[in-house]
Structure 1
């Protein structure tokens, strides 16, 4: 057996975050060494509460939780929160009792930097929410981009319509007109793999899958079946689908098993103003441009193109039912 890959999950739980966290904890290929929290599906304080709660449900209170930023990388306080997708509590309006545990004293950015320094080249960050904590880690310690093994992020739309507006995917929607967190991460020089909704929309967890999950005896399966109603209702209404998209579990499994996806490489920039705010623009570098622009000499990142959707769903089902 290979040594498990160390991962930190940067998360905004979130129903599909809960699913991804549980799948990670049931994946022998990885060792979850921490959760860091961020606003997105819920505000950061609630994201921290939910992360602690999920670890208590899983019996993994040994895993530290570091609370992330409550504001954008440019100190903006106007945040876009997706409670209409996940419920007011982020977990399907179940109003679970508060967790017993507390987050560690370190901020998320400081924890990310510390772990990258402790295990240079060995830690993968799986970023399931807006990229503020990752950008702050880069600003806190410029060597973070060299010390971190890889950043696998859920983000971008890449030639399909976004899910905030036709241009933007939720995690890349900038909340100020200044250079935003996503653009900082994409141009940082770190080893970045972006898993966008062009890929995650290929992975559908159907109503039939949900029934199969409910019929199983798995602890995680039973927990998720309690919280999935809101998420399914949103997808039925918004997309007219008989199922839900597995955004976060797909990104997580791309980190666990990279053979599940194919990718292309190029430069990615994020539009921060106008009606295309949040648009992820991909430059494949096939053409050389004579003039110097904001695209010149930017680091190359990986962008997922295809995914083995049946295997992703199969792995999610197996790991949740066998829990």
Structure 2
């Protein structure tokens, strides 16, 4: 079971979501899940990796559909490692007139630093894309590491060491983050892959209004991209490590090392010196249900016309 100080308090979790929304549908699902979780105050959204302006417009559109007035800031486009950005090509395709959508700034790193330092120990950051923005914030302001309440990361594979997209996409940034000394909980593929969205769950989501229909369309787009009908909600699982810690178990704190060369992006965890915990297991049925219920609740909470 994950234990954090705020778990026993009534204070909402104040959260910034750092995301590469637009490629895999799971970023969209994570954003909507946060909006459907009463214990979360979504303070802001920052985008990372590739066309971050497009990603910011997309996030802003979704927040508007949900009636949520949350600031969105576009961040660093290119990995610190120099690795080429992977781009699926369908990003934003389901959003009419997306080029007309506005967002708050192109200064995600400055936003992260200013917001966290203004409320030290109060802001959780959930990072569900490459860690470029987080590394840039640490480089710009070393106090960022001690001021973040906790960093929650989707990334890695701690079972067989397979390179995982988020860490491999910017291994340099990942090393900066895991060497920073900030408190981190990371959820790897060996855990997230235990969850899938089944047909009956997808139908429940799709019936939950405009946002639900959008998620189904994004899932079907993702299926078409891979020519397979499967979907693993990696990022929503990571959200739940913060908001439903009783559904997970973790290692003792230690250090995560990120491989280079032929092992670029591979991750290993060494218990002992360090402040990073790795999620080891989860309640499969309960986690799947919480994801679906949270997404449905986000749509149910959307303001009606005229409110």
Per-residue CA shift, 1:227-274, capped at 9, x if unaligned? 21122345663xxxx63111011111112222221110321110121x
Per-residue CA shift, 1:187-217, capped at 9, x if unaligned? 1100101111111001111123213333x24
CA–CA separation in structure 2 for the residues paired with 1:119 and 1:100: 33
Instruction: Quickly say closer, same or farther: Cα 1:272–1:96, change in 2 above 3 A.
Output: farther
CA–CA separation in structure 2 for the residues paired with 1:204 and 1:112: 32
The equivalent of 2:85 in structure 1 is 80
User: Is 1:310 aligned with 2:285?
Assistant: yes
Per-residue CA shift, 1:72-96, capped at 9, x if unaligned? 225x2x433241xxxx2325x4243
Cα-Cα RMSD: 2.1
Q: Which runs of 5+ in 2 are unaligned?
A: 1-8, 300-307
Higher RCO structure (Cα 8 Å, ≥6 apart): 2
CA–CA separation in structure 1 for the residues paired with 2:137 and 2:54: 21
The equivalent of 1:18 in structure 2 is 28
Instruction: Quickly say closer, same or farther: Cα 1:133–1:257, change in 2 above 3 A.
Output: same
Please say if residues 158 and 196 of structure 1, whose CA atoms lie closer than 8 Å, have aligned partners that are also in contact: yes
State the secondary structure of the residue aligned to 2:197.
strand
CA–CA separation in structure 1 for the residues paired with 2:94 and 2:105: 28
The equivalent of 1:52 in structure 2 is 60
The equivalent of 2:303 in structure 1 is none
The equivalent of 2:263 in structure 1 is 276
Greater Cα shift, 4-13 or 198-207: 198-207
Instruction: Quickly say closer, same or farther: Cα 1:192–1:35, change in 2 above 3 A.
Output: same
Match runs of 1:249-264 below 5 Å:
249-264=236-251
Shift of 1:218: 3.4
Please say if residues 130 and 169 of structure 2, whose CA atoms lie closer than 8 Å, have aligned partners that are also in contact: no
CA–CA separation in structure 1 for the residues paired with 2:231 and 2:226: 6
The equivalent of 2:111 in structure 1 is 111
* 1:192 counterpart (184, 200, 209): 184
Shift of 1:305: 0.5
Shift of 1:106: 5.8
* 1:9 counterpart (17, 23, 42): 17
CA–CA separation in structure 2 for the residues paired with 1:132 and 1:170: 13
Given the two structures, how large is their TM-score scaled by the length of structure 1?
A: 0.83
Please say if residues 122 and 149 of structure 1, whose CA atoms lie closer than 8 Å, have aligned partners that are also in contact: yes
State the secondary structure of the residue aligned to 2:214.
helix
State the secondary structure of the residue aligned to 1:34.
strand
Please say if residues 43 and 81 of structure 1, whose CA atoms lie closer than 8 Å, have aligned partners that are also in contact: no
CA–CA separation in structure 2 for the residues paired with 1:183 and 1:45: 25
Query: After TM superposition, where is structure 1 displaced by more than 6 Å over at least 4 residues in a row?
Result: none
* 2:204 counterpart (195, 201, 212): 212
Q: Aligned residues, how many? A: 287
CA–CA separation in structure 2 for the residues paired with 1:217 and 1:278: 37
State the secondary structure of the residue aligned to 1:156.
coil
The equivalent of 1:90 in structure 2 is 91
Shift of 1:99: 6.1
Please say if residues 46 and 89 of structure 1, whose CA atoms lie closer than 8 Å, have aligned partners that are also in contact: no
Please say if residues 197 and 232 of structure 2, whose CA atoms lie closer than 8 Å, have aligned partners that are also in contact: yes
Please say if residues 146 and 182 of structure 2, whose CA atoms lie closer than 8 Å, have aligned partners that are also in contact: yes
